[in-house]
């Protein structure tokens, strides 16, 4: 008969100080002690043995199939395992029926403003250096890319907040704090650029160069956001250490 684990015995099996490392997924408890990917009870510098990792696995780049390997043994069942019980019942059903809602909404939407703002910076640079190159109005192209970036930004922010809530329960660490800060600077730069463009102040040399500078900053800003987002999804040992100090 399979052994039944409650949360306390599971937590004791954290893979540290000689203890075996157990993890729970979908109500099943697995011994990952013999896996090289779980050295000292830690996986990828982020996931810790002794916990229910069902929610984390749904956001990982692999599925539950990795737990079927020969060196990983199923030890029993976890009593009352529902990591999403804090979420509304309807949302839990949607996440179970359509896993893409949990995993991919933000990664899909965030690429659009990233690409548009970087294109706006590129076309702005070409306009400043070679304004008549190929007889193309690169200033107009830069403005068009900026507008598309602005249109796509709200959806990226909304899906980012949704993912933060569903997968991380609004948990704060070093990388999340940096993403929040640079999200705020992005919004501020967008608002100033919009004010310059809509007010017609862009005809003034100072405003024109300010607009160009902020456009370049937006490209850098979205790259920084992507950098910290990458550390959240694929953390390193170094980034994990910094998060614990935050």
From 34, 54, 78, give the residue that closes a domain.
Answer: 78
Q: What does the pLDDT average to over 99-114? A: 91
**Token pair of 59 as six digits:** 């956001």
Residues near 7 by beta carbon (within 8 Å), at least 6 away in sequence: 52, 78
Q: What is the CATH number of the domain that holds 32?
A: 3.10.120.10
At 218-228, the pLDDT tens digits run 999 999 999 99
- pLDDT of 18 reads 84
pTM above 0.85, yes or no: no
Of 73-87, 121-135, 146-160, which gets the smallest average pLDDT? 73-87
* Same-domain pairing of 116 and 231: yes
205-212 — which CB contacts under 8 Å span 24+ positions? 212/124, 212/128
Is 87 inside any structural domain? no
Percentage of residues in the chain with pLDDT exceeding 90?
43
In this structure, the answer to whether residues 115 and 70 fall within a common structural domain is no
| Neighbour count for residue 188 (Cβ, 10 Å) | 13
Residue 85 is assigned to a structural domain of this protein: no
Domain hosting residue 154, numbered range: 92-245
Euclidean distance between CA atoms 189 and 215, whole angstroms: 8
DSSP output for 7-25: HHHHHH-BS-TT--BEEEE
């Amino acid at each position: 008969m399979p052994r039944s684990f409650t949360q306390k015995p599971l937590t004791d099996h954290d893979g540290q100080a000689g203890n075996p490392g157990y993890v729970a997924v979908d109500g099943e408890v697995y011994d990952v002690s013999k896996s090289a990917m779980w050295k000292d009870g830690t996986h990828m510098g982020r996931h810790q043995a002794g916990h229910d990792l069902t929610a984390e696995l749904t956001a990982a780049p692999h599925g539950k199939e990795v737990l079927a390997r020969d060196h990983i043994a199923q030890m029993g069942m976890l009593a009352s395992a529902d990591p999403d019980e804090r979420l509304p019942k309807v949302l839990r059903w949607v996440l179970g029926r359509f896993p893409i809602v949990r995993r991919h909404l933000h990664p899909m939407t965030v690429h659009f403003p990233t690409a548009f703002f970087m294109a706006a910076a590129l076309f702005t640079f070409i306009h400043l250096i070679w304004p008549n190159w190929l007889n193309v109005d690169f200033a107009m192209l830069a403005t068009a890319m900026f507008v598309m970036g602005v249109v796509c930004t709200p959806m990226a922010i909304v899906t980012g907040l949704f993912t933060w809530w569903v997968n991380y329960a609004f948990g704060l660490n070093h990388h999340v704090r940096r993403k929040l800060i640079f999200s705020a600077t992005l919004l501020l730069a967008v608002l100033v650029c919009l004010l310059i463009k809509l007010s017609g102040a862009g005809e003034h040399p100072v405003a024109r160069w300010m607009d160009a500078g902020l456009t370049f900053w937006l490209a850098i800003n979205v790259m920084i956001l992507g950098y910290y987002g990458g550390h959240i999804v694929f953390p390193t040992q170094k980034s994990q250490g910094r998060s614990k100090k935050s």
